[in-house]
Structure 1
Amino acid sequence: SAKGRTAGVSPPSLKPGARPNYVSQRLPGEGGRARSMAGREAGGGGVAARAAQKLFSLSGLFAVYKPKGPTSAAVLNLLKEKLLAEAGVQTNGNKRKSQVLKIGHGGTLDSAATGVLVVGIGKGTKLLKTILAGSKKYTAIGLLGKATDTLDATGKVTEEKPYDQVTKRDLENVLQKFTGDIMQVPPLYSALKKDGERLSTLVKRGEAVEAKPARPVRVYSLSLQQFQPPLFTLDVECGGGFYVRSLVSDIGKELSTCASMQELTRTKHGPFTLEEHALHEDKWTIDEIARSLEHCMSLLPGEPSHKKFKTEHPEETAVSCEDK
């Protein structure tokens, strides 16, 4: 867990506040109709039908491991495809059939980032707004002396400055300025939107985009784990809407040089940790997820009864929120 100086603040209890990033993945109509259609797609009986019945009864939150490379949305789509295939639901590109399963994720990770990605399934998608209010922990590796347009290793180098003057003590002292309630300017290359389009999309098209104004964010703890110039490793625990890329860049500027993030791993999101709860792809099965749901849901405060989660199926409206 992240250890370091704090500014007298503690992570909040998981309360609704933010809106999740998910897409509705179920058919119109009542839950029973969706499950019965899934059963017919699975052949109407036998092992596949039982697997389908179990899949569509799952509801709650669990965590998966997001590897480096794919987007958070791509990871979610792969997970959905694997579960539907195991349940014998053949979509064959039919969008309507693929919408039988309702699934979503909370808290977008950059493509180059790895770590905990929280997933909601069934009625659990409603709890994504709760999980987004929880704190997140990251381990980040920064590089002194080079700045990029994306603030990380995926971008083009825009500036180079000497960094030999920076000492470990200098870096540790600077971290105190970025702990507690601070103001942060989000990066231009981000999922934040302007007129309905992501800023990163507009920038890549060559359109002039102004940076979003600084906004309040919270850092619960921030510590230096390793310093091997030009590289430094940070552990950070923060609230929603926080950009670790911006933190690394701002640290470089505060040290009278520049810096960019090289690697980022989310080690915890809410109560879910990378070591204990994040399922790797080889465990993306109906049975493994069912077991994970039992464990993960017990970690949430004020957990609704499991029976309630399995029997209530109100109609959902797709909502969208960028949180990172």
Structure 2
Amino acid sequence: MAGTVREALLVTATSKAVAAKLLSLSGLFAVYKPKGPTSADVLNRLKAKLLAEAGLPNSTRKKRKHVLKIGHGGTLDSTATGILVVGIGKGTKILSGILAGSKKYVAIGELGKATDTFDSAGKVTEEKPYYQITKEDLENVLQKFTGNIMQVPPLYSALKKDGQRLSTLVKKGEPVEEKPARPVTVYSLTLKNFKPPLFTLDVECGGGFYVRSLVNDIGRELSSCASVQELTRTKQGPFTLEEHALYEDKWTIDEIARSLEHCMPLLSVELSHKKLKTELSEEHTVSCEDK
């Protein structure tokens, strides 16, 4: 009997230690987002796995006890794959600052086909000939989309009107006006492969840039049309897909703790060490708002 009590106490102590370790985590790390789920879906799945491992309830907005503070720094389309940077604990406060840097994408576009979402998930709205387009034509057009340019965001986007995403309003059938063109930056734009109707681009851009709009605009500039077939984000801020992204089988408290430690040198390059140290050393508040 005494042994059973001791075992029960040991299990309880271990569970409390795991929960305490989870709630003490602070900083930024990166995960891999597969094709299909939204960025929010990935974040919710990650949060649920961590809370389950720690033996904590996955609380709702009405019940905030043991809420884990977690957020992501830059939405990826549901059809896109790649790196998603996650802030945990005090790390959520520095998401916007750390991700002001460039992002890199690999995009596969298809000439001759336009969709309402500018990607493969949408309904085909237009088809035009593309056989006349050469590799040289495409490379020449890319120069027009490099540097500081103006870009009109797609209607199917995370941008909001009256507190609701434009994509949500469009799906509801509500009238939505196109957002005005806005300044964006393309640091580099390279054609990696051209096998009509498909072409592959390497894109490095600043914040607020839509690769879907880029491909759509390229199609128009070529007197045809185009849409994105596949999109992968390979870099976000100082984080790269190959080196830093944790796949779902690595979504554990210990793995994330190791990743946070590994990523600290990256953050010190992007932010002042003093500011980062202050943000991450403040006492962690357990009861806080979900992102």
> With structure 1 as the length reference, what TM-score do the two structures score?
0.81
2:192 counterpart of 1:225: yes
Q: Sort the Cα spacing of 1:266 and 1:239 in 2 relative to 1 into closer, same or farther, 3 A.
A: same
Which residue does the alignment assign to 1:309? 280
Which residue does the alignment assign to 1:287? 254
Contact 2:68 2:286 in 1 (8 A): no
Q: What is the letter of the counterpart of residue 164 of structure 2? A: E
Which residue does the alignment assign to 1:238? 205
Which residue does the alignment assign to 1:155? 122
Map residues 190-201 of structure 1 onto 2, 5 A cutoff: 190-201=157-168
2:52 counterpart of 1:85: yes
Q: What is the letter of the counterpart of residue 273 of structure 2? A: E
Q: Which moved more, 1:259-268 or 1:98-107?
A: 98-107
Structure-2 separation of matches of 1:91 and 1:51: 15
Q: 1:120 aligned to 87, 91, 96, which one?
A: 87
Which structure features the higher share of helix residues?
2
Structure-1 separation of matches of 2:211 and 2:56: 40
Q: How much does 1:94 deviate?
A: 8.3
Structure-2 separation of matches of 1:140 and 1:296: 27
Q: 1:74 aligned to 41, 64, 68, which one?
A: 41
Contact 1:57 1:310 in 2 (8 A): no
Q: How much does 1:44 deviate?
A: 8.8
In structure 1, list runs of 5 or more residues that go unmatched: 1-41
Contact 2:115 2:124 in 1 (8 A): yes
Q: How much does 1:226 deviate?
A: 0.5
Structure-2 separation of matches of 1:288 and 1:81: 16
Q: 1:204 aligned to 171, 177, 191, which one?
A: 171
Q: 2:14 aligned to 47, 52, 56, which one?
A: 47
Q: Sort the Cα spacing of 1:173 and 1:245 in 2 relative to 1 into closer, same or farther, 3 A.
A: same
Q: Sort the Cα spacing of 1:52 and 1:307 in 2 relative to 1 into closer, same or farther, 3 A.
A: farther
Contact 1:91 1:97 in 2 (8 A): no
Q: Which moved more, 1:51-60 or 1:239-248?
A: 51-60
Query: Aligned residues: percent identity?
Result: 74
Contact 2:30 2:85 in 1 (8 A): yes
Q: Sort the Cα spacing of 1:100 and 1:213 in 2 relative to 1 into closer, same or farther, 3 A.
A: same
Q: Which moved more, 1:243-252 or 1:43-52?
A: 43-52
Which residue does the alignment assign to 1:170? 137
Structure-1 separation of matches of 2:264 and 2:212: 31
Q: How much does 1:203 deviate?
A: 1.0
- C-alpha offsets along residues 149-185 of structure 1, whole Å, 9 cap, x if unaligned? 0000000000000000100111111101000000000
Structure-1 separation of matches of 2:67 and 2:198: 47
In structure 2, list runs of 5 or more residues that go unmatched: 1-8
Contact 2:64 2:287 in 1 (8 A): no
Alpha-carbon RMSD across the aligned residues, in angstroms, is 2.3
Return the index of the structure with the highest Cα Rg: 2
Q: Sort the Cα spacing of 1:94 and 1:261 in 2 relative to 1 into closer, same or farther, 3 A.
A: closer
Q: How much does 1:198 deviate?
A: 1.1
Q: What is the letter of the counterpart of residue 303 of structure 1? A: H
Q: How much does 1:80 deviate?
A: 0.5
Which residue does the alignment assign to 1:31? none
Which residue does the alignment assign to 1:29? none
- C-alpha offsets along residues 219-242 of structure 1, whole Å, 9 cap, x if unaligned? 000000100000000000000000
> With structure 2 as the length reference, what TM-score do the two structures score?
0.90
